[in-house]
Structure 1
Amino acid sequence: MTTSAVPERTTAGERRPGAPGAAAPGRGVPGRAGSARAVSGPVVAGYGAGALLSGTFTTLPGLLLLPYLTDTLGVGAALAGAAVLVPKLWAAVINPLVGGYARGARARRRLIRYGGAAMAVACALMFASVVPGTGGAYCAEAGFLLTATAFACFQVPYAALPADLATGPADRFRLAAGRVAGLGVAALAVGAAGPALVSSGGPSSGYRWAGCFGAAVIALGTLGVALAMRRTPAGRPAARARRAPSSAAVRTPLTAASVRPTVKEILANRPFRALLGAAAAQSLATGVLLAGVPYATRQVLGDPALTSALVVVFVLPDLLAARLWARFGARVGTRRAYALAGALFAAGCLGFLAAPVVAPGFLLAAMLLAGAGHAGQLVFLYGLLPGCVAEEAAAGGDRGELLSGVFATGEAVGLALAPFGYGLVLAASGYVSAAGHTVHQSGTARFGILLGLALLPLLATVAGTLSLRGHRPAGVPARP
């Protein structure tokens, strides 16, 4: 089993016709004229709407939960980082089990609908605590745990859905571009509205309103992807009835005991393992950036309102540049294009080291640069994954959903480690937590805020780029 990608070139600069993993002429290249596009625009839009859940899950807790715990509830920075870590690790544990359950179109679509609805309710509960201090921290932890569980039930089948919707690589990258655009819309809406609601509503009620707003975005995304599923043949009642007997005949449920050896077999596949490592590293880098921005704007720049503007310019390229990245990857190769995207992202993060001595406009430009790289990273990662699922099905296997679950686990681990690692940096630099009021931090603590914001994403991005170098479709030789 190998993963499909934007077609790589040989050392002579030509694609090898007939080689395994090579695209047929006129097909499989995002943006190439004459590519088959069986996926309709409404289906692409509906599938992209499902990314509103992913964007909200990444952005809302990533931006607000750690500051909520340290600066509103008074939890220590290291302990707060651990509190954010646990639910995301739990999601990482159950992702493969969800993938084992979501085998077949009916199970996938049911999990998408119910998981999305449950996630909306849990998101509203995450910031709904009226109890201060430790009791409030427990309530927030419980809400986040429920949100992470519901998100796992949604995300794993959602990631595998393009294998049902798309007919070839061109369609899969088209859906991936729609997904990246949906992530951008969610991050734009939640990243701008969340901090603004907190600032206008105060330390307690502002966070509650932010949680309710995130729940509304999640509900909207669930509705959009549900409508997209109904527009495809497999989502219509008659088609589901025709598919059900054959699915039941050939698929056997996975148990917890059988998942482990299956996951080991999946991880033995080098191209997928390379993709998984890159996804985990990219999630870690993005998570650290989102976690650190509120601290930088409040403690270093002295302007918390700047948080929304920084998030907006970071996610704008997700809306504008996704298709351009797909076409660029088709010209130069996936791995080279991903390396360039990672370099742009890391350069933007390093710009925060100059925060004390530059104007806010410089930081906005740095975030725009990081966002441009981030958009490219997502396009290539999400465009390669459905190819893995499709090739697994083409080879006669039925582990596509479990494969998506393992991929989601990698993302979840990266997102889990991000606030935990950043919290450790804050604690090591002497950051002082406070309940409900701002504490003047020492120079060392302010430097730690910026160092963690720049250095951790840089290291994670380098690791992800090196990992993706191992992703090479069969029959395509390595570049010199």
Structure 2
Amino acid sequence: MITPGAGEATVPKGVRFGYGIGSFCTATVNTVPGLLLLYYMTNFLAVPAWLAGVVVTAPKVWDFIINPLVGRWSDRTVSRWGPRRPWLLAGACTMPAAFFLVFAGPPLSGVPAALYVGACFLATATAYALFEVPYKAMPGEMTHSYHERTSLLQWRMVFIGAATAISGVLAPAIATGEGEHGTLDSYRMMGLTIAVIMLVAMLASFFGTARAPMTGAPEPDRGGWREQFAAIKGNSAFLWLTVLSCTQMLAVSMMLAAAPYFATYTLGDPGATQTLFAALVGPILLTMPLWVRLAKRLDKRGAMVLAALMYGGGTMAALATPMFGSPWAHGWILLVGIGYAGLQLLQFSMLADVIATDAAASGKRRAGVLTGLWTAIESGVSSFGALIFGVVLSIGGFIESEPSLPVEQPESALSAVLIGQTLIPALIIFASVLMTLKYRLKPPAVPASATAE
């Protein structure tokens, strides 16, 4: 039986690099659709805002089924590559092609376009689950050490920062490269470019984790769904972490969906999407060592509270952008980015702790089931960010359009864009601070257990 905190096995640097580079996929496949898909449908395919929000959200409901299934399958996989890596390869062989098809459809508009994009996005979500769930389960099985897991995931976060910068800056740059707002052809080129980047990263992660340790990994849990869900239901740390992460990612996804609209209608510059994104993700590359130290000094829960307050404070301050202009927005988004870096690192580090603690308590390998449920719930809930923003736009009277027939938005729509980018996400992220106070998972200096107040 594993004892969390027993031993301080260090994951080899080559494996850290190989594991981290997989985040080029996990970050990109979330960032690009979250940033551009809603805007692509409303402004290029003439899909009504509410329906575009449904299209972005609906395939994520499928995650509630496919992610736990993939997790369960990977827990029970026996191969010379280990239980997780065969699934990484399966995702690498299918997901990039499905992603490209999302932005490479035939010339459709309105409801037919929404149906096409929805089908392709559903296929992307399915293929992505094959890679994502086993990938996120791996850190909890690589080392026993409470703080080593944070150090390992620091590498992942650096790659997330790089991937998010590339996808958040490069993808809009390609998409808007032809004309002020871009064309259907430029969006197709963007989809192809990002798909190739993800393919290379996923294959690199598969080969780079060939020597990944499975430190004292227990036997797979052969129990039925009822027994496994009953055990998970009793894991209060896992439940609180899931609720916390869902709340935070709901705010993040809403801001991503709103960003192109904020740049276009609040700042008056569609190209500002790229610079805003650079301000958001730049801190991920620069502040990881700081957040690792803060996690040790304040413990992970205290560091999480600090990160959420920075994120929410910067988002709330950006509400005054119409008064102070673009530099004001970029400055506060930079603070948001520092908080976002901490949130990302600490979420995944806490999940790895929960996985290791569950293995110690149960003597069973069910990291895949835990990760599958966590990713399915988080992904499903966070996808509502685009739906909520789409509804906010509809309430504000936003008018959908095609590039050849631009329209002037009413003042109410402009106000909806600003509120959807700032006020609502800020309130959501502040709510997560209260949830963080309910999370409990003790470091190895005291008995490791998962309890909640």
Question: TM > 0.5 between the two?
Answer: yes
Paired residue type of 1:46:
G
SS at match of 1:333: helix
Paired residue type of 1:450:
L
2:277 paired residue among 303, 311, 324: 311
Unaligned runs of 5+ in 1: 5-19, 28-35, 236-242
Report the equivalent of 1:232: 212
Unaligned runs of 5+ in 2: none
2:117 paired residue among 128, 131, 140: 140
Q: Say what the alpha-carbon RMSD is for the aligned residues.
A: 2.6
Shift of 1:38: 1.6
- State how far apart, in whole Å, the 1-side matches of 2:129 and 2:172 are: 25
2:101 paired residue among 117, 125, 135: 125
Residues 230 and 71 of structure 1: CA distance in aligned 2, closer, same or farther (over 3 Å) = same
Identity of aligned residues (%): 32
Is structure 2 residue 382 aligned with structure 1 residue 405?
no
- State how far apart, in whole Å, the 2-side matches of 1:264 and 1:373 are: 34
CA contact (8 A) 1:199 1:206 kept: yes
Q: 1:108-123 residue pairs with structure 2 within 5 A?
A: 108-123=84-99
Shift of 1:479: 12
What is the TM-score normalised by the length of structure 1?
A: 0.85
Shift of 1:398: 2.4
Residues 393 and 479 of structure 1: CA distance in aligned 2, closer, same or farther (over 3 Å) = closer
Paired residue type of 2:203:
L
- State how far apart, in whole Å, the 1-side matches of 2:417 and 2:26 are: 26
Shift of 1:264: 4.0
Report the equivalent of 1:292: 258
2:14 paired residue among 16, 25, 42: 42
Report the equivalent of 2:324: 358
CA contact (8 A) 1:87 1:148 kept: yes
Report the equivalent of 2:386: 419
Is structure 2 residue 43 aligned with structure 1 residue 71?
yes
CA contact (8 A) 2:254 2:385 kept: yes
Shift of 1:451: 0.5
Shift of 1:143: 1.5
Residues 350 and 144 of structure 1: CA distance in aligned 2, closer, same or farther (over 3 Å) = same
Report the equivalent of 2:425: 457
Paired residue type of 2:316:
L
CA contact (8 A) 1:349 1:370 kept: yes
Report the equivalent of 1:367: 333
Q: 1:253-268 residue pairs with structure 2 within 5 A?
A: 258-268=224-234
CA contact (8 A) 1:48 1:225 kept: yes
Report the equivalent of 1:208: 188
Is structure 2 residue 412 aligned with structure 1 residue 444?
yes
Report the equivalent of 2:247: 281
Residues 78 and 260 of structure 1: CA distance in aligned 2, closer, same or farther (over 3 Å) = farther
Shift of 1:171: 2.3
CA contact (8 A) 1:38 1:167 kept: no
- State how far apart, in whole Å, the 2-side matches of 1:466 and 1:321 are: 24
CA contact (8 A) 1:355 1:363 kept: yes
2:397 paired residue among 430, 435, 442: 430
1:196 paired residue among 173, 180, 183: 173
Shift of 1:253: 5.5
CA contact (8 A) 2:74 2:368 kept: yes
SS at match of 2:209: helix
Say how many residue pairs are matched: 438
SS at match of 1:163: helix
CA contact (8 A) 1:56 1:217 kept: no
Residues 260 and 457 of structure 1: CA distance in aligned 2, closer, same or farther (over 3 Å) = farther
Residues 310 and 260 of structure 1: CA distance in aligned 2, closer, same or farther (over 3 Å) = farther
- State how far apart, in whole Å, the 1-side matches of 2:204 and 2:232 are: 31
- State how far apart, in whole Å, the 1-side matches of 2:221 and 2:269 are: 56
Paired residue type of 1:81:
G
Is structure 2 residue 437 aligned with structure 1 residue 469?
yes
Shift of 1:393: 2.2
- State how far apart, in whole Å, the 2-side matches of 1:139 and 1:319 are: 36
- State how far apart, in whole Å, the 1-side matches of 2:407 and 2:315 are: 25
- State how far apart, in whole Å, the 2-side matches of 1:312 and 1:278 are: 26
Report the equivalent of 1:387: 353
2:138 paired residue among 161, 165, 174: 161
CA contact (8 A) 2:220 2:364 kept: no
- State how far apart, in whole Å, the 2-side matches of 1:78 and 1:369 are: 31
What is the TM-score normalised by the length of structure 2?
A: 0.90
SS at match of 2:95: helix
Report the equivalent of 2:199: 219
CA displacement, residues 178-226 of structure 1 (integer Å, 9 cap, x when unaligned): 1211211111001111111111133201111111122122112212211
CA contact (8 A) 1:47 1:179 kept: yes
Paired residue type of 2:55:
A
